[in-house]
Structure 1
Amino acid sequence: MGWMFAGERAPTGPDRRSTKSPPVPIAVIDDPALPEALAELAAARADEMDAHTVNRELPIARKVIGWWQRQGWIACDPTIDIERWP
């Protein structure tokens, strides 16, 4: 999900394994426009890859976001409105 926080589409196919996600400043997480952008990028990723991939990545992102919130580094969870795909 690091690609989505950067506002980019993640690479697919064999190139994905050797690619590192872009660095994302934590302040970007509190951007009011991020939740809508993340929802769109997650939906596109589910279409490109499969729902299983996004469903696997979403809880990881939420765990990191929760930790950042407990540290006081960010105030909101931009993934709150993203639902798991069937």
Structure 2
Amino acid sequence: MPLPAGQGITGCPIADELYDNKDSETVKAFLAEYLDPDRRIVIVTDLAPGYPRIFDEIFGDNVVHQLCLLHLNKLIASKIPGKRNY
């Protein structure tokens, strides 16, 4: 599973790592390695349900969490019956 971190102004990656899983301990270790919990940040993720709890635990009020529109659109499309091409 890829876990990327990017810089919002330049769009340049800060870090991109591949892991065998995305369990909470793996995500916490990745975030602790590359991001400062005392700085205000924005994180965009897929719809994995564990992220909000992890972000609150590490960053508290210093995080803005947004959902990836691609993943959200795929979820919506998967709920519509019939043939889909996405």
TM-score by length of 1: 0.34
User: Higher strand proportion, which one?
Assistant: 2
For the pair shown, the structure with the greater C-alpha radius of gyration is: 2
TM-score by length of 2: 0.34
User: Higher helix proportion, which one?
Assistant: 1
